[in-house]
A and B are shown apart, each in its own frame.
Chain A
């Protein structure tokens, strides 16, 4: 049971580059979420999706793009990376909107 997997686990890139973080879940959960976690700010929601082809903004969506063409995948793209986007990114999923969310192992992203 793979659960929810994120890739890559670590990524170093340069400012201005496009980078995509992948998230895949095998539970057939309807909801998927992207968070970033920074010291002093805790977990902040970037985008979420209630179902395939349905996405919505969270607290900090600027500079990020998401898509959800298939229920199991929810990639997060930084179109033109900036140093302020250096962070740890977590993907999560839940069966329904009121159900607990389960997190992937995270991607540590550094932008130089």
Chain B
């Protein structure tokens, strides 16, 4: 059973701080990794995707991938109350393009 693990939280950070969200996966052959944000009652929204080891930055968001250790993380700099949501990590299954989702980490940014 291929698995994606996330700390369910809630993770609480003060406004302006860096939020760090982590995800580990079991399939060593995985090649594609995605972070989605989901507000309560809404659908998942793609934030970042990363395919290569290292860091990928997009505005206040940085995705970090370490395939040797089988983890992927998402850093949110200068966190805002509007960043309060559940963040879903997803790993592509090498068979057929399916995504395997973690349970999500709830982030709360306090003003």
Contacts and interface: CB of A to CB of B under 8 A. Distances in A.
| A: contact size bracket | 20 to 34
Contacts of B43: 90, 103-106
Given A42-B101, A90-B43, A104-B43, A97 B96 contact: yes
A42 B102 contact: yes
| B: contact size bracket | 20 to 34
B111 interface: no
A31 B45 CA distance: 17
Interface of A is mostly: strand
Contacts of A102: 46
A98 B31 CA distance: 9
Interface of B: 31-32, 34, 36, 42-46, 49, 88, 90, 92, 96-99, 101-104
A-B complex: 4 closest residue pairs judged by Cβ atoms: A97-B97, A103-B43, A43-B101, A42-B103
20 contacts: A33-B98, A33-B99, A42-B88, A42-B101, A43-B101, A50-B96, A56-B96, A58-B98, A90-B43, A90-B44, A96-B97, A97-B96, A97-B97, A98-B31, A98-B97, A100-B34, A102-B46, A103-B43, A103-B45, A105-B43
